[in-house]
Structure 1
């Protein structure tokens, strides 16, 4: 896209969102990053993302690291470039921890050795795509896209949270001060409707709460085929009908 740019957003750590209804089994895929100045790249969208992917690898990945490998177009470019640097001998002894089936497949094609994520695993650095990042605060939303087969949002979020350093790679249009769209929320299947009603009351008049389907038309109840994640959760898409004024509101 003409006039677009791409950026990566480094962070030392991130913390999960704080909301009272988390105690009822709700797990948001929204995360908050500390403020950091973005690094913009060249004018065209595809070259920008590639440049941002290269900068992410060159600036943060060192030999001997365990690296969380994100999913999405920009992360795929970073995985390809990381594999190229390893083949050239510039980086050695890298172990990749994929966040999705697609990132595992891309890493395998790029020659990056892989390992499975475990709760006690030390991850030195991770990169990922984000759906939208709030300008100034760097609050980020992930999880809007359709899940890859076998992908786990909980594992993806765990890898992002565990990493000692993190970078999101996004296009210019995803870095904005005017937030809109949806915020995906994981909720236990057993009490999903009760939690959905609580969220609906919380954002009454500002958002609609729809259960995500696996296929077909979406709707408040998730259509005929509501999505169930591999851990047994539904995904509630909190769809804001007006701008999101405070993404990090308690």
Structure 2
């Protein structure tokens, strides 16, 4: 049986989303800013990052500029598919492939991965692996196999809990999920490589899946600066900066 939302609930959700959008604009956007537009309602001039944004922009009469000006965009706004407060992470693009996936990669302001290490690997893509870590040292056994695969092409960094200093071993408090998994970032110095050769992501994914203990994988092209969370009620929107 379908579940119907009453009009008051719909209005509350719409109001909370509008408040979140306003908080995002107030925090990150000023007069004259050129934006990269993802799905959502943004009454600004910008570059569409996906079909949905381009369609909505045309429908609402929002002026758009050519893709060639994407490098001028100071902010990219897109709906997140998932957000984990404890992990301090948001997932974008799970539902559909962007129309212009190169736009986020070109941006200078929001695409530089900050790191205290100053490692040159921070300029390249990052292969994110979910690795079994039921024992304190079990992840290291799997990491040794991964290190052989990416030797000379990337560094392996274990994720720490949010707020902890970066450390290849995860620091004093490495992240471990309730299911007993840890997250290992394979930070490439340049492009994606496998045994020293340039290879596409799907071929690299097939290789790492053969390593015992690897339960999942993903590709981090760049890092977002913040997430604005709509919360119905009197709490108002929450801005989380990464």
Per the shorter chain, which TM-score range?
A: 0.3 to 0.5
